[in-house]
Amino acid sequence: MASDFPTTTPDDGAVADGPGPPADPSDGDWVEVYRRSLYAFAAPAGVWRGFALDGDAPELAGLAGTVCLITAWNPDSREMPLEWNLEANRRLAEALDAAGVAYTSAWGGSLPGVEPAWREDGFALHGLDRGTALEWGRCARQRALVWLEPGLAGLLFCADGSLVRCGVREMAVEPG
């Protein structure tokens, strides 16, 4: 169950070195930040799907059900040290396993040519409803989740449950 996922962060104000999405929640337009990113996930058959949310297609073609991209990196959009993020994702994977959630590997990062380059590893949760996906996102203290379903692609904001529809641009990605 998502509520079993630990959500603590260090109190020492540690901030990771290196690039990433804006760490301050007041920085910029978050919809645009997410639209200017590249996402990838392993489909259940093992084929990697890559896409950006800045395209014209209303959906990621060929989905049989819902896919929700989530990470435990940088909770509350606060950039954390690499070691902390890796441990947070390990704990999230353990919680997903304990809850019996079907998932595969995923990541989000900067689009090719965008500097500074960044990447956050995560998970593609398969077959969840929006409410359950939001519960996981809130427990992992994420600002938003990438939400895909047949006929729709968008950003699911964890604070209020709002969905911002986005167009999809499929992109080739390397596995992992």
Residue 142 contacts by C-beta under 8 Å, 6 or more apart in sequence?
A: 70, 71, 72, 75, 158
C-alpha to C-alpha distance for 101 and 2, rounded to whole angstroms: 10
Residue 156 contacts by C-beta under 8 Å, 6 or more apart in sequence?
A: 68, 130, 133, 134, 137, 144, 145, 146, 147, 162, 163
What confidence tier does 33 reach under pLDDT thresholds 50, 70, 90? Answer: confident
What confidence tier does 27 reach under pLDDT thresholds 50, 70, 90? Answer: very low
What confidence tier does 13 reach under pLDDT thresholds 50, 70, 90? Answer: very low
Task: State pTM to two decimals.
Answer: 0.86
pLDDT digit string (tens) for 35-48?
Answer: 989 999 999 888 99
Please report which helix (H) or strand (E) contains residue 30, including its range: helix 30-35
- The confidence score (pLDDT) of residue 46 equals 84
> Where exactly are the structural domains of the chain?
38-171
- The confidence score (pLDDT) of residue 115 equals 86
**Are the CB atoms for 156 and 145 separated by under 8 Å?**
yes
What confidence tier does 7 reach under pLDDT thresholds 50, 70, 90? Answer: low
- The confidence score (pLDDT) of residue 12 equals 40
